[in-house]
């Protein structure tokens, strides 16, 4: 029996989850949860790194004290969202609070980069979906706005790598998180230094890339002493939260796809090698790397962020709705009233979500939602129909039918969206486990220390330890008709 501590940091909240692996059975216990701290400083959005770091240490203290005296924590690992980074300067200090990927500095940045290197060449070199929040474009904006800061930096570390550095003093970059950056070649797993030079971006600050499930080192002595624990082994699991979540998909066979459902929805398949061609480029799909070296061929979709932002808008106006209540109101609302395009750029920035949805509906000549239930139903139906479109793109690129959709992560708790997805896609949906990211993180740690042999072994443990729920498609004819109309919406 071994205990592993997973720090799972999402865009909305973070938590520390203790996993006890006893033979082929994994049990979880949440030790600490906190809201993700961010602030607007000088007109820009930043993560509050010091507060995040204190929350991680609090989680470590709580997990340590929760165990009986004869048990220890075998290892710990951190996963986070992708693309964001911190800079380490001379002497090892962090140079500034990391920018948040929703910051305005990357607005219209892609066209400026394409003036240096063509879109086609960047995709051929990296195989990554184009989004202005990608690290490549964040770094391009930083080099434009603050070139001296980049020159002063010795090392760039993505968010989980940055926390690993604070835990151990080691500057390493884990492969799955690096693969979100649009700065590596997924064929080799190494930095695309030629591309960076063509964009006049510095390469001196790029650290060594290590595979998922790599031991980084022991906990720093001062951190261990402060947290009242041993010098625990720190592992880089699948440091990108989606890489960890996909590692915990309880699937068997080959004809399945996944949706890692949360603030973002990441929908795709596992492949043995990158898929970089005209078709994948035209669909704007991405080749990220997962646990075990698998390619996560997927599409990034604006997920439950849409509902989260609506809820924040109502809360600001003094109306506090739980997510369960909003889902109930959506289920009671009239179907197929209006839809939005989740990828519409204004939806990606914080604030005014209700007004943005209303503007989109007005500009696309649709009725404007009038009640909280109608707004949320608009968001959920739009996500389900976007999943249908993404599924069809995957099948066209792969050349075969996908038989089942696995949904993992926090979004699996939204049973209405799960059923809508089955109905819209005309495929069975298997939802669960909810805690997929923490589970994948823990099992990758167990792989690193030799307690779990392979990714297949890890998924067998998931199937034996956690329940899932199956949703069969219903009323597919109505959703087929709705999808035809959804495809024509534009603003």
Give the CA angle between residues 408, 414, 419 to the nearest 5°: 90
Torsion angle defined by CA atoms of residues 426, 432, 438 and 440, in that order, rounded to the nearest 10 degrees = -70
241 is catalytic: yes
Q: According to DSSP H, which parts of 127-220 are helical?
A: 135-145, 147-152, 159-168, 175-178, 193-198
Query: What DSSP line would sit under 2-26, residue for residue?
Result: EEEEEEEE-SSEEEEEEEEEETTEE
As a whole number of angstroms, the distance between CA 214 and CA 244 comes to 13
Give the pair of three-digit tokens for residue 210: 């290590």
Please answer whether residues 458 and 452 qualify as being in contact, where contact means their C-beta atoms are separated by less than 8 angstroms.
yes
**Could you tell me whether strands 2-9 and 73-79 are parallel, antiparallel, or unpaired per DSSP bridges?**
parallel
As a whole number of angstroms, the distance between CA 68 and CA 429 comes to 40
Contacts of 214 (CB under 8 A, 6+ apart): 172, 174, 235, 236, 448
As a whole number of angstroms, the distance between CA 12 and CA 199 comes to 32
Torsion angle defined by CA atoms of residues 234, 93, 107 and 307, in that order, rounded to the nearest 10 degrees = 40
**E-assigned strands of 318-432?**
404-408, 429-431
Give CA 453 to chain center in angstroms.
25
* Buried b or exposed e, range 97-113, using 16+ CB within 10 angstroms: bbbbbebebbeebbeeb
Please answer whether residues 66 and 227 qualify as being in contact, where contact means their C-beta atoms are separated by less than 8 angstroms.
no
Please answer whether residues 387 and 259 qualify as being in contact, where contact means their C-beta atoms are separated by less than 8 angstroms.
yes
Starting at the edge strand found earlier in the chain, the sheet holding 13-22 runs: 25-35, 13-22, 2-9, 73-79, 233-236, 214-218
Q: Enter the DSSP assignment of 32.
A: E
Give the CA angle between residues 411, 415, 421 to the nearest 5°: 80
Q: Which of 8, 84, 103, 241 is catalytic?
A: 241
Please identify every residue annotated as catalytic.
Answer: 241
């Amino acid at each position: 029996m071994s205990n592993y501590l997973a720090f799972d940091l999402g865009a909305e909240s973070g938590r520390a989850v203790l996993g006890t692996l006893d033979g082929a059975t994994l049990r979880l216990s949440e030790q600490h949860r906190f809201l993700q701290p961010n602030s607007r400083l000088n007109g820009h959005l930043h993560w509050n790194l010091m507060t995040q770091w204190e929350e991680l240490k609090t989680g470590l203290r709580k997990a340590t004290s929760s165990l009986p005296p004869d048990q220890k924590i075998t290892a710990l690992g951190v996963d986070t969202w992708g693309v964001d980074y911190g800079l380490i300067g001379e002497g090892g200090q962090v140079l500034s609070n990391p920018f948040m990927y929703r910051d305005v500095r990357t607005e219209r940045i892609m066209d400026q980069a394409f003036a240096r290197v063509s879109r086609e060449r960047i995709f051929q070199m990296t195989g990554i979906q184009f989004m202005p929040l990608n690290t490549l474009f964040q770094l391009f904006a930083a080099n434009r706005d603050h070139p001296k800061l980049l020159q002063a930096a010795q090392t760039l570390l993505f968010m989980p790598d940055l926390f690993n550095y604070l835990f151990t003093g080691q500057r390493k970059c884990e492969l799955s998180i690096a693969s979100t950056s649009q700065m590596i070649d997924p064929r080799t797993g190494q930095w695309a230094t030629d591309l960076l030079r063509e964009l006049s971006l510095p390469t001196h600050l790029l650290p060594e890339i290590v595979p998922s499930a790599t031991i980084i080192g022991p906990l720093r002595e001062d951190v261990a002493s402060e947290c009242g624990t041993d010098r625990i082994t720190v592992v880089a699991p699948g440091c990108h939260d989606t890489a960890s979540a996909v590692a915990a998909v309880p699937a068997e066979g080959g004809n399945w796809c996944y949706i890692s459902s949360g603030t973002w929805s990441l929908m795709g398949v596992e492949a043995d090698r990158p898929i970089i061609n005209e078709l994948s480029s035209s669909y704007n799909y991405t080749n990220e790397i997962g646990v075990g070296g698998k390619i996560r061929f997927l599409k990034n979709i604006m997920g439950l962020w849409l509902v989260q932002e609506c809820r924040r808008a109502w809360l600001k106006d003094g109306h506090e709705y739980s997510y369960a209540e909003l889902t109930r109101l959506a289920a009671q609302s009239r179907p197929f009233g209006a839809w939005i395009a989740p990828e519409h750029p204004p939806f990606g920035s914080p604030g005014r979500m209700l007004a943005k949805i209303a503007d989109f509906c007005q500009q696309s000549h649709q009725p404007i939602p009038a009640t909280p239930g109608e707004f949320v139903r608009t968001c959920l139906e739009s996500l389900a129909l976007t999943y249908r479109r993404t599924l069809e793109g995957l099948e066209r690129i792969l050349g075969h039918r996908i038989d089942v959709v696995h949904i993992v992560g926090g979004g699996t708790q939204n049973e209405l969206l799960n059923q809508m997805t089955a109905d819209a896609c005309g495929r069975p949906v298997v939802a669960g486990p909810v805690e997929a990211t923490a589970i994948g993180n823990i099992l990758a740690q167990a792989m690193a220390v030799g307690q779990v042999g392979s990714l297949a072994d890890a998924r067998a443990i998931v199937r034996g330890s956690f329940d899932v729920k199956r949703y069969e498609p219903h009323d597919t004819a109505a959703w087929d008709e709705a999808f035809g109309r959804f495809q024509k919406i534009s603003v």
